[in-house]
Structure 1
Amino acid sequence: MAAVSLSVSTVKPLGDRVFVKISASEETTSGGIILPDTAKEKPQVGEIVQVGPGKRNDDGSRQAMEVQIGDKVLYSKYAGTDIKLGGDEYVLLTEKDILAVVS
């Protein structure tokens, strides 16, 4: 079996899926207490790095995506598939799992 090397540029989402780079989680609380890895919550904010072509309609045409590469988004807490590439963490989501675009 041949080895496959994955990188962000080689991953292209299908349909209405997006590839999001997860933002770093908080290291300390507002009071200055340093959090151990086990106490950190999974972040829900990230930046879109790849976008699929869009969902297919009943007539076969593509529905345009509402988000684009570079958008910072807020997504559902337990949505998507977690992926680790080269030390960075990503999540593969469907467009319906994105709650808002953060400016």
Structure 2
Amino acid sequence: MTADPDLDHGLPIRLLHDRVLVRLEGNEGERRSSAGIVIPATAAVGRRLSWATAVGVGPHVRSIVAGDRVLFDPDDRSEVELHGRGYVLLRERDVHAVAAQRVEPDATGLYL
């Protein structure tokens, strides 16, 4: 199996218990609507969940592996900087969903 170049290998950290270390996708500043309208970072919106990529997991994490895309509430997070790059530290129970690459033919579907 080849290593994923998007994962951050060699981080100086060993995660404990049910902790998940994630790297945020994109920036958290302004964003664009589907119609192309720029929405500034200061615009008030309802609770919006964020996607991130898991780069490390603790020994008691059962449903997430490094490389998974996870959905979490950005208001409930702890930030950490490693090698000059920002990461978010979560508990496994704070992750709302894991993105599926595909759905098996006999699966019943995904439920959030």
Q: Does the alignment reach a TM-score above 0.5?
A: yes
Could you tell me how far apart the structure 1 residues matched to 2:81 and 2:20 are?
15
**AA aligned opposite 1:51:** V
> Out of 67, 70, 76, which is 1:70 matched to?
67
What is the Cα deviation at residue 78 of structure 1? 2.0
Preserved contact between residue 23 and residue 43 of structure 1 (Cα < 8 Å): no
Match of 1:13 among 3, 12, 15: 15
Give the unaligned 5+ runs of structure 2: 1-8, 101-112
Bigger mean CA offset, 83-92 vs 13-22: 83-92
Tell me the number of residue pairs that the alignment of Structure 1 and Structure 2 aligns: 88
Structure 1 Cα separation of the partners of residues 52 and 33 of structure 2: 20
Q: Matched residues, percent identical?
A: 34
Shift of 1:24: 1.1
Residue 40 of structure 2 is matched in structure 1 by 36
Amino acid at match of 1:91: V
Q: Normalising by the residue count of structure 2, what TM-score does the alignment of the two structures yield?
A: 0.62
Is residue 24–residue 43 contact of structure 1 (8 Å, CA) maintained in 2? no
Contact residue 24 and residue 52 of structure 2 kept, 8 A: yes
Secondary structure class of the residue paired with 1:10: coil
> Could you say what secondary structure the match of 2:32 adopts?
coil
The answer to whether the aligner puts 1:80 opposite 2:62 as a matched pair is no
Give the direction of change, closer, same or farther, for the CA distance of 1:30–1:39 in structure 2 (3 Å limit): same
Unaligned runs of 5+ in 1: 1-6, 55-63
Question: Which structure dedicates a bigger proportion of its chain to helix?
Answer: 1
Measured against aligned partners, the alpha-carbon deviations of 1:43-82 in whole angstroms (never above 9, x if no partner) come to: 611110011111xxxxxxxxx5211000101113422202
Residue in 2 aligned with 1:98? 95
What is the TM-score when the length of structure 1 is the normalising length? 0.67
1:5-35 alpha-carbon deviations (Å, 9 max, x no partner): xx96112221100001111146322222223
What is the Cα deviation at residue 101 of structure 1?
0.6
Q: CA RMSD in A?
A: 2.8
Distance of 2:76 and 2:88 partners within structure 1: 8
